[in-house]
Amino acid sequence: MAGATRLKVCHIASGDRWAGAEAQIAMLLGRLSRQPALDLCAIFLNPGRLAEAVRSFGVETRIIPEIQRGLLAIAREATEFLRVRNVQILHSHRYKENLLAGLLARRCRIPFVVETLHGLPEPQTGLKSFRQRLIHQLDRWVARLAADRVISVSPEMTQNLRGQLPPHKLVTIINGIDLGSVRSKLSAAEAKARLGIPSHHRVLGVAGRLEPIKRLDIFLHAAARLSAANAPYSFVIAGEGRERVRLKQLAGKLGIGGQVLFLGQRDDIYDVLRAFDILVICSDHEGLPMVLLEALALGLVVVARDVGGVPEVIRDGENGILVSSDDPTVLASACLEVLADSSRSRRLAESGPKSVAEKFTIDRTATQVAELYRSLVEPK
């Protein structure tokens, strides 16, 4: 990018929900929009919080509602948008957008395509499993054929992708958060009071999509074991998803229905997290979960299963606790040990923000993404 030439990059994302991947996209575009060498725009296939957040950064956006159009109609409208903007790089997120980016790159003669893989495919059953395998195979085929680089958000995920994609296309760029925006003005007691939880209760909680891969059944079974000790506990589940009804039924069956708060989707998630004594992560797999970074930045104690990209963040016994089991009894015991040792809890809480600031900031992520863009367009 010689002289005053600005590199033009268009991101393509669905924007149909707000979860960790969407939060990461929003923060990334916010930081990239500050770089004078970049000229950003974005195409979203749904209106919503992601599009609103990106617009607030001054990034030009086009919403092409997928519910009203088929793939070819979306491609036609996106082509009209791109052809007058001389875009040099398309950066896509998730499989539908990856397919669209490959198509648009050919139609608009855009020289470079970058994909970000935010997580691995989530296990399905029956016909959904068959459909998922087809989608996965198509996505990898598109990546091999059309993508110049595929960003993986954790080394563990990169290792998983070896053999599926050419090694020279794989790049590991770890997720990061905006430390300036991850904050709560509430004390722990105030945060508990806003949720209707007595200040003397110990609060264990989870935050994220209520989907099978998150294994919130493990959380509820562990909660039942903690509750059996007759100590004052409250349990919080923040988020929405297909598992909500089943999880409510399970909580009732375990006899803890009155102790579990199902908060649904929350826009004040940092104030919710402030009420937690422990954030619990029970997933069967994670890429590099945003809520983990956010919780550490807020000074929360984290107890998490040793899966996916989690051990890239948590150093067991230093800034959190890792559990190498899906046994709820083991998880409950790990939580009890932390709660019973106030000095240990304090050490873990104090080390969390430091560990995030060292390695997991959005500035670091954005710098690496911008460097990747430059490596594609600059002469070798």
Averaged pLDDT for residues 167-195: 95
CB 310 within 8 A of CB 304: yes
Averaged pLDDT for residues 165-176: 94
Domain spans in the chain, listed from the N-terminal domain onward: 7-176+361-377, 188-359
CATH number given to 7-176+361-377 = 3.40.50.2000
Averaged pLDDT for residues 96-101: 92
Averaged pLDDT for residues 62-74: 89
Residue among 196, 186, 229, 195 at smallest CA distance from 339: 229
CA 6 – CA 14 distance, rounded (Å): 26
Averaged pLDDT for residues 154-170: 91
Could you tell me the sign of the dihedral formed by the alpha carbons of 197, 203, 206, 212, in that order? negative
What's the pLDDT tens digit per position in 182-225? 999 999 999 999 999 999 999 999 999 999 999 999 999 999 99
- Name residues whose C-beta falls within 8 Å of residue 159's C-beta, 6 or more positions apart in sequence: none
Q: How many residues does the chain have?
A: 380
State residue 173's pLDDT score: 97
Same topology, domains 7-176+361-377 and 188-359? Answer is yes
What's the pLDDT tens digit per position in 219-256? 999 999 999 887 899 999 999 999 999 999 999 999 99
- The CATH number of 188-359, from 3.40.50.300, 3.40.50.150, 3.40.50.2300, 3.40.50.2000, is 3.40.50.2000
Sheet of 301-305, strand order: 260-264, 233-238, 202-207, 278-281, 301-305, 321-323
Q: Which of 11-20, 76-85, 130-139 has the least mean pLDDT?
A: 130-139
84: how many CB neighbours lie within 10 A of its CB?
7
Q: Which of 16-25, 106-115, 257-266, 303-312 has the least mean pLDDT?
A: 16-25
Read off the tokens for 103: 């198509």
Q: How far is CA 32 from the centre of its chain?
A: 18
Averaged pLDDT for residues 327-346: 96
Is the pLDDT reported for residue 89 higher than 60? yes
129: how many CB neighbours lie within 10 A of its CB?
12
CA 132 – CA 125 distance, rounded (Å): 9
